[in-house]
A = this chain, B = another copy of it.
Amino acid sequence: MVENGLFVQGFRAAAVRSGIRGKDRLDLGLIVSDVPAVAAGVFTTSLVPAAPVILDRERVAGGRARAVLVNSGIANACTGAEGLGNARACSRLVAEALAIPEAEVLVTSTGVIGMQLDMHCFASGVPDAAGRLSAAGFDAVSRAMMTTDTVPKTAVRTLSVGGRPVRLLGLAKGAGMIMPNMATLLAFVVTDAAVAAAADLQVWLRAGADQSFNRITVDGDTSTNDTLLLLANGLAGNPPLAAASSDLPAFRAALDDLLHDLAMQVVADGEGATKLVTIAVRGAGSDDEATLAARTIANSALVKTAFFGEDANWGRIIAALGRSGARFNPEQVAIRFDDVLMVENGLTLGAAAEARATAILKQQRFTVGVDLKAGSGTAVYHTCDFSMDYVSINADYRS
């Protein structure tokens, strides 16, 4: 259930069993605004964008949207002209069912790459979903989006803007092929806030994505379908937010916090993951070098398997730093597990420190703190461990 049954004024949703993934599974979701909303989107930087990404990029550039369709099971990626045609046909079905302009419909897909959508499922599923829209339907949509996810991912925030209550509601899916690059797998945020200009909303969304979804990794793989959409329909009646609004910092803080919440839910549900680990690097020559260092540690299969084994194998962390491209003096590096200092000046502090660090690693969540002592650059990444279940999930994914 979406927490507290919170609803965002003028948004409704529904999910149905369309048959894409068998008869007994929610696999098609629809989110609709009663009025046209200001829209922003951030998409995969992969050179191989899925068909829905190609379509949505073009439509989001128009700055307005009213509906988002999502299906799981098939990604509609690497599907060529037929796939793009199917994405457009899906949007046409939504437009017809809702009697709205096709240009205001966004479509998203997630699942296996390289297969074509079965349009029969959409021909019946879209009108079915359109007939079931309700303010309580977001919970079902969050379930219909799931692929290898083990739990649905939702988040809500409320704040006051110009004296009016404003609500934000977010949904995300993702467990594998997760190292978003300027976007994420699939995440939708709807808000009843009024926003003056789509271009501003786009700036705020991209900045929020850079500090949330672009800071997580499950497996180092950037998806063909990464899509983050934000629709603001203005029904809260607040003075429209713009760059100079006094309430803008509060709105952006709520948005950033919600995006971060969703991103952490995605990485915590990483395929096979048993632990959520934050990699916090400071003292780098620049923020870019800190990011290189944090991302290299966060993606190292050797580091991630050591986390799974609850082994405070700091040598693998320093080895990852050594190939990361960040500049530093190995004889100055310090490493902490939460508040336990284990490595100082590049050397272990001994068996007692290692025992305390091992106790930290037995926790489900902890932070690896690295101080390169080479400057003032900082970066944070969030990753998970790498378990035997990761392999079994991905060896069998299509079977």
Instruction: Specify which of B177, B301, B319 is in contact with A46 (CB 8 Å cutoff).
Output: B319
Is A399 at the interface (CB under 8 A from chain B)? yes
- Per-position contact with B for A130-153: 1 when CB-CB < 8 Å, else 0? 000000000000000000000000
CA distance A345 to B323 in the complex (A): 36
How many residues of A sit at the interface, in one of the four size bands? 35 or more
A356 at the interface (CB under 8 A from B): no
Partner of A395, one of B305, B319, B348: B305
A368-399: which residues lie under 8 A (CB-CB) from chain B? Answer: 386-388, 390-392, 394-399
| A114-B315, A315-B112, A387-B391 known; A301+B220 contact, CB < 8 A | yes
Interface residue A238 (Cβ < 8 Å from any Cβ of B) = no
Choose the segment among A73-81, A193-201, A246-254 that binds chain B (4+ C-beta atoms closer than 8 Å).
A73-81
Known: A315-B112, A390-B391. A224 touches B45 (CB 8 A): no
Output the residue of A75, A315, A387 with the most chain B CB within 10 A.
A315
Question: 1/0 per position for A255-277, CB-CB distance to B under 8 A?
Answer: 00000000000000000000000
A213-241 residues with Cβ-Cβ distance < 8 A to B are 219-224
Do A80 and B177 contact each other (CB < 8 Å), given the known contacts A316-B113, A330-B48, A391-B308? no
Closest B residue to A308 by CB, please name it. Answer: B395
Q: Is the CB of A46 within 8 A of B322?
A: yes
Residues of B within 8 A of A223 (CB): 319
Q: Would B47 and A328 count as touching, CB distance under 8 A?
A: yes
The distance from the CB of A347 to the nearest CB of chain B, in whole angstroms, is 5
Contact B176 A399 (CB under 8 A): no
Please list the residues of chain A having a beta carbon within 8 angstroms of any beta carbon in chain B.
Answer: 44-49, 75, 77-80, 112-115, 176-177, 181, 219-224, 299-302, 305-306, 308-309, 311, 313-316, 318-323, 326-328, 330-331, 343, 345-348, 386-388, 390-392, 394-399
